Amino acid sequence: MGGPDKSGLSFGTTYTLSAISACIAETSTFPFDMVKTRLMIQGETLAKDAAASATANQQRGLVDMARGISRDEGIKGFYRGLAPACLRHVIYSGTRVMI
């Protein structure tokens, strides 16, 4: 009742499948991470500018940030930086599963 039997899979197959599955997972969650990161950067920027400007309290919410990225950068804006993230998973996740 454990999991699927992996005894028939070679090292290369197991490594490749784990790296691919990690990249698929990263691709599906990356837009959310992009919006979250932009919100965090916005908060830091506004905190720095608060002393210099009284209008620095114009924060964007989650939905407004996502709309802004979509409007200003298109769908590609949500996936900027995905290639290095997947490369990291090819190295890290494949190795982690094999160990």
Domain presence at residue 79: yes
Domain presence at residue 5: no
- Report the share of the chain in percent with pLDDT over 90: 48
Domain presence at residue 4: no
> How many independent structural domains does the chain possess?
1
- What per-residue confidence (pLDDT) applies to 60? 81
Residue 14 identity (one-letter amino acid): T
Q: What is the DSSP string of 18-44?
A: HHHHHHHHHHHHHHHHHHHHHHHHHHH
Domain presence at residue 22: yes
CA separation for the pair 13, 17 (Å, rounded):
6
Residue 42 tokens read as 């916005």
Residue 90: give the domain boundaries: 11-98
Domain presence at residue 6: no
Domain presence at residue 3: no
Mean per-residue pLDDT, 28-40: 94
CA-to-CA separations, 98 to 13, 18, 72, 92, in angstroms, rounded: 11, 9, 41, 10
Q: Which residue has the higher pLDDT, 44 or 12?
A: 12
CA separation for the pair 99, 15 (Å, rounded):
10
